[in-house]
Amino acid sequence: MLNTFRSSTAGLAIAASGLFATPAAAYPIDCAIFLCLVGGWPFSAECSEAREEFIRRITPYPVEPPLQLWRCPIGGSAGARDLTPMQRLNQIKRNSAVPYPEVPSKTLPTTVQASFLDQFRSPVVKISYTVDLSSSDFDVVRSIRVWHVHGYSYRVTEREGPCVETIRAELGTYNDRTEYQLTRTGADAIPSWMGMKRTCGSSFRGVGVEWTDTFGAHDYEVVRY
């Protein structure tokens, strides 16, 4: 079924030219995350590890961008247009002496170039690329939504008083340049699959991520805490 992928997606997905500084290097985990996400997370050891890292990044604290595409070099190379994403991943593996992706250190803080939205003071990760990321080939990246409910409460705040609803939540998205940005969001916007009950006496804390692959299949994961 992977042979039905759009050739343009395969061509732009990942180019191996110049990917590795040394033959002994492991390939970045974000190359695997991107290609496995595009491919609908097919069953393989590499994609299982990539999905595990994708979900780990939204597990508090802190909540990180689940796909950090700036860690995976992107460019153009001859012949890449004829490969499916999984064929591209296999090619990357063959070019590496280490057959499994390299996971960034979890003991060191993630360093990214960031600016802030004036309205909400939320970070926007800005990365420079050499390909057109505004094309439809990267719609899978832009389909990713990260819903982080820091705290939700629907409770009586005074004796015999009415229930009062309060929420502090953010939505993480990728724009046309696949920059990751956060904006504040309200209770009405939280999707039902998050499992947040809006009844008097309820509370909720959790983070969820959703996406749609190139086959049009929608999926999500939720982590409560």
Same domain, 187 and 130: yes
Domain boundary among 49, 83, 108: 108
Same domain, 132 and 70: no
Domain boundary among 46, 74, 108: 108
Task: Determine the pLDDT at residue 33.
Answer: 92
Cβ atoms 112, 128 nearer than 8 A: no
Same domain, 120 and 220: yes
Domain boundary among 108, 143, 163: 108
Range of the structural domain that residue 202 is part of = 116-224
Task: Determine the pLDDT at residue 123.
Answer: 55
Same domain, 202 and 219: yes
Same domain, 174 and 220: yes
Encode the chain (225 residues) as per-residue pLDDT tens digits: 333 333 333 333 333 233 333 344 667 889 889 888 988 898 888 899 999 999 999 998 889 999 998 887 655 433 455 666 667 666 766 666 666 667 766 543 343 333 334 344 445 555 545 556 776 768 899 999 999 999 999 988 777 778 999 999 999 999 888 889 999 999 999 999 999 999 999 999 999 999 998 889 999 999 999
Task: Determine the pLDDT at residue 93.
Answer: 67
Same domain, 88 and 168: no
Query: What pairing do the DSSP bridges indicate for beta strands 98-102 and 26-28?
Result: parallel
Same domain, 88 and 130: no
Same domain, 125 and 219: yes
